[in-house]
Structure 1
Amino acid sequence: MGSTIPEVALNSGSCKPMPLIAMGTALYPFNPSDAMRAAILRAIELGYRHFDTAAVYQSETSLGDAITDAISSGILGSRDEIFITSKLWCSAAHKDLVLPALRSTLLKLRVEYLDLYLIHWPVSLKPESGLELPFSKDKLSLLDMSSVWEAMEECQSLGLTKAIGVSNFSCRRLETLLSFCKIPPAVNEVEVNPLWQQKKLREFCMARGIRLSAYSPLGGIRTPWGKDWVMECDVLKEIAEAKGKSLAQVCLRWVYEQGDCVIVKSFNEERLKENLLIFDWELNEEERQKIAQLPQGKSCRSMDFVSADGPFKSLEELWDGEI
């Protein structure tokens, strides 16, 4: 079943193609668990071949165990059949800590290399904050993008990751990064869904050979209204009913049609199966136009990174106005 998931080549010559559906492993409160290990193993059996993790999710150990189980049981022939994305947490976003952080990730995953390693946020935390969440805002500091990216490039040069990229970067931050990098980012992982379509960012990235990976493709609860705008959207409900599909499948199909990698997050077996059933049908032009006209608003605003005494005094500063 794994071969039924379309793949896309990245701008890194040493990286294998990236499957355009990934299973996300961010389950709060963050900690490794046998339930996560079992769900990942079942996902591999169903055909998932791309897994999205991060140091701060504390899911790397569970993912590594599941991959080991899959190889030992013969579901996978080798680790090379899996595409693994992980991320550098903010407390290790310092030039001298990047390589040790990646080596720690590899140990937890029990693999020799990543396929894709991302800077998780365009923010640093003081190293002593570790993986603590929530973190104290007095630990926030400005990311030294140049030196941290140089360390990311070293990780790729050493073969410890096949490609490098970023997450939660705006057009402006990408422009800064592209002005000095030797190895351009392969991917920018950001929130994308029908109610936060990222048209400007996608156009910017596509013109520069950078792929978007879409987290929260089904949206999320947005304050202060407390409404799940995507899953309660009447337009999306009408399209789903007309197509004979679930609203979630319509959202995933829409993101896929934009050319983005879709990061899905469910440990429920029926939903894991449903998420893979988006490739043998498509939205029609009228449906695409209805979605294009939906009001836009960001769900994942990340106020945790905003502080009067920190590098970002407002959400507008954090997102460079792209909010």
Structure 2
Amino acid sequence: MADEIRFFELNTGAKIPSVGLGTYAVTRNTVVTAVKVGYRHLDCASIYGNEKEIGFALKELFDDGVVKREDFFITSKLWCTHHLPEDVPEALNKTLEDLQLDYVDLYLLNLLIFVMTCEDTLKGVHNSGKTEKIRLTDRIRLIGRLTKFFRSGVAMEALYDSGKARAVGVSNFSAKKLGDLLEVAHVVPAVNQVELHPVWQQPKLHEYCHSKGIHLSGYSPLGSQAGENIRRRVQENPVLKMVAERLGKSPAQVALRWGLQRGHSVLPKSNSEARLKENLDVFNWSIPDDLFAKFSEIEQEKLIRGSNFVHPTCGAYRTIEELWDGEI
């Protein structure tokens, strides 16, 4: 009988549901539908611009008794305008207000969210195309910000002491950046959320995080969040399609099940009820060892490269290689 792999245990002792719903561009109705069909993990972010809408959906679900708060796992992320230690509580409080919650289960610090321009302005790149400008005097190189964030007792211990964040983690960190962070961190991140799918398997990062007790969580596990072309490059991969045909499953289901068997939680996104249900049908079957081994034959390519976040003459990172520490 297949190991269902419905949860992974974090270094805090908490259990994170292995399949969550990515909420970028997701509506209130989609959240309600997803929860009713079985999702118990929402991956949110203030920069998605819909945390208030999600908050109304959660209140409706809790008030109607569809699900209890204690049975639910909710993640949110810190935006670049609040990387300084003194700004962290303000950002988290706004997220909690919008989500209508007393706490989040996981709060992530995102690395890949800003670029320095030659106009002496730090611009936060918004998914909607808008930008937010920060005063020149507030500019600090990224690793400096991260160091202060994790070293600061006010920023980190207050989150725990208040009970407003049950766990903290990071997103888009390379093994090298995690190593740099762990040299100064008082708290080992519970999670590193990164691009993960069969076309970008990140074995070095996987091994490093495993050795440090950091759980890997995969965004865009089907490639879909990053655009139609990238979705095709993941789900139309010949190995993936072959395995799906052998098992009588969809390529999307195989990609998600691959992640679970690899030890990653996965965060697919869909607004279709049928697809939401399909993406949850990954627990009562498994990929046999002989077929699982075939995934090592897939040519690897990072599909979400972050080229908008580098500049050759100014900024925190000057090349893609520097941004990812050569781990591409």
TM-score norm. by structure 1 comes to 0.89
Contact 1:138 1:310 in 2 (8 A): no
Mapped to 2, the partners of 1:102 and 1:252 lie a distance apart of 30
Shift of 1:59: 2.1
Superposed CA deviations along residues 142-174 of structure 1, whole A, max 9, x for unmatched, are: 221121223234312321100000000000110
* Pair 1:280 & 2:312 matched: no
After superposition, the CA RMSD in angstroms is: 2.5
Alignment deviations for residues 114-145 of structure 1 (CA, whole Å, 9 cap, x no partner): 10000012565799857745466986752211
Deviation at 1:234, TM superposition (A): 1.5
Runs of 5+ consecutive residues of structure 1 not aligned to the other structure: 28-34
8 Å CA contact 1:266, 1:272 repeated in 2: yes
Q: Which residue of 2 aligns with 1:11?
A: 11
- Quick one: which of 150, 158, 170 aligns to 1:154? 158
- C-alpha contact (below 8 Å) 2:194/2:219 kept by paired residues: yes
SS at match of 1:113: coil
How big is each residue's C-alpha offset from its partner over 1:168-201, in whole Å with a ceiling of 9 and x where there is no partner? 0000110011111111100000000001001110
TM-score in terms of structure 2 length: 0.87
Partner of 1:48: 39
1:142 to 1:136, Cα distance in 2 relative to 1, 3 A: farther
Name 1:145's counterpart in structure 2: 146
SS at match of 1:212: strand
Q: How does 1:162-173 map to 2 (within 5 A)?
A: 162-173=166-177
> Residue 21 of structure 2: which of 20, 23, 42 is its match?
23
Equivalent residue number for residue 268 of structure 1: 272
Q: For 1:128 and 1:102, locate their aligned partners in 2 and report how far apart those are by CA, in whole Å.
A: 22
SS in 2 for 1:282: coil
Instruction: Assess, with a 3 A threshold, how the Cα gap between structure 1 residues 98 and 131 changes in structure 2: closer, same or farther.
Output: farther
The AA in structure 2 aligned to 1:175 is: G
| 1:125/1:141 contact within 8 Å kept | no
- Contact 2:7-2:16 at 8 Å conserved across structures: yes
Identity %: 40
| Preserved CA contact (<8 Å) 2:31 2:57 | yes
Contact 1:195 1:219 in 2 (8 A): no
Q: Which amino acid aligns with 1:60?
A: E
Whole-Å separation in 2 of the counterparts to 1:125 and 1:98: 20
Structure 1 residue 121 corresponds to structure 2 residue 122? no
Give the Cα separation in 1 of the matches to 2:264 and 2:32: 24
Task: Determine which structure has greater relative contact order: mean sequence separation of CA pairs < 8 Å that are 6+ residues apart, divided by chain length.
Answer: 2
| CA gap 1:227/1:120 in 2 versus in 1, 3 angstroms | closer
Task: Name the counterpart of 2:180.
Answer: 176
Uncovered stretches (5+) of structure 2, i.e. residues with no partner: none
Relative to structure 1, the CA distance from residue 66 to residue 226 in structure 2 (aligned partners, 3 Å threshold; closer, same or farther) is closer
Decide whether aligned partners of structure 1 residues 102 and 227 sit closer, same or farther in structure 2, where only a CA change above 3 A counts: closer
Q: C-alpha separation between the residues in 1 aligned to 2:148 and 2:281? A: 42
